[in-house]
Amino acid sequence: MEFLRYTTVGSGTIVPDSTRGPAAHHFACGDLSLLFDLGSGTLRRLDALGIPFGALDLVAVTHRHQDHFADLLPLLFALRYAPGVDRVRPLALVGYAGFEEDLEALEAVFGAWILDPGCPLDVWEAEDTPVELDREAVSATVEARRVEHTPEAVGYRLALNAAGREVLVAYTGDTAFCAEAVSLGREADLLICECSVADEEAVPGHMTPGDVGRLASEAAVRHLVVTHFYPSALRLGEAEIERRIRRHYDGPLDLAVDGLQIEL
């Protein structure tokens, strides 16, 4: 039977942390391999988790901040030049409005391998989605939706299909609590939601544990994973983060750590 699996590759932020890498989230749907965001160190963490970077079918980036974007260049460079990588099938790159122009600017600085990483490259921007991938008994559909963070920021809604069974996943990337984020997560089987800062230290463009609980409740999600913890959230401790979320949401809940795996 084809499997569906979610793995937290990076549950942290741009703040250096020996136990938490910047944002990165992986989905396996049979032999389809999808990566959402790839902050610095993601390639190394993929290797530690036994997820081959050369087998990725799709990489989606939520916005320009480097704790979500930084390892895209190392990925493309490794695909082109790493010994033993002999890829022929296309790689889908999905991003925000302006993503293709950003890649072209990077190509002007670093060289042709940005857009010619040794395999066909299909670049999609948010308005071009949904993107559909099909492989025998499995398929995936990825749709970008605007969220409230930076002007270009998007979250992703992902439909995974294996052997006739569909699982709906929503990934917020970075966002404030907003109607768009609630819509993104609506009735998702799994919501992967940022939980950046303590409620007492709320900042624009990010969510607190209280915000996350409200969002999960209003969106009627079936399973919640919280991630992207800055120090002010971590100082609360796991029990307090969960208590604040539970004021609003009483469904299945995981506080992400690097390497968390959930069979979907």
The predicted model scores a pTM of 0.97
Q: Quick one: pLDDT at residue 258?
A: 98
Q: Where along the chain do its domains lie? A: 4-263
Q: How far is 31 from 10, CA to CA, in rounded Å?
A: 21
How far CA 160 is from CA of 35, 124, 165, 167, 212, in Å, comes to 13, 19, 8, 5, 24
Kind plus residue range of the DSSP H or E element containing 24: strand 24-29
Q: What is the pLDDT of residues 142-159, one digit of tens each?
A: 999 999 999 999 999 999
List, for residues 239-252, the tens digit of each pLDDT value: 999 999 999 999 99
Residue at 118: amino acid letter: G
Residues 200 and 31: their CA atoms lie apart, in Å, by: 43
* Average pLDDT of the segment spanning 166-182: 98
In CATH terms, is domain 4-263 a member of 3.60.15.10? yes
Which pLDDT score is estimated for 1? 45
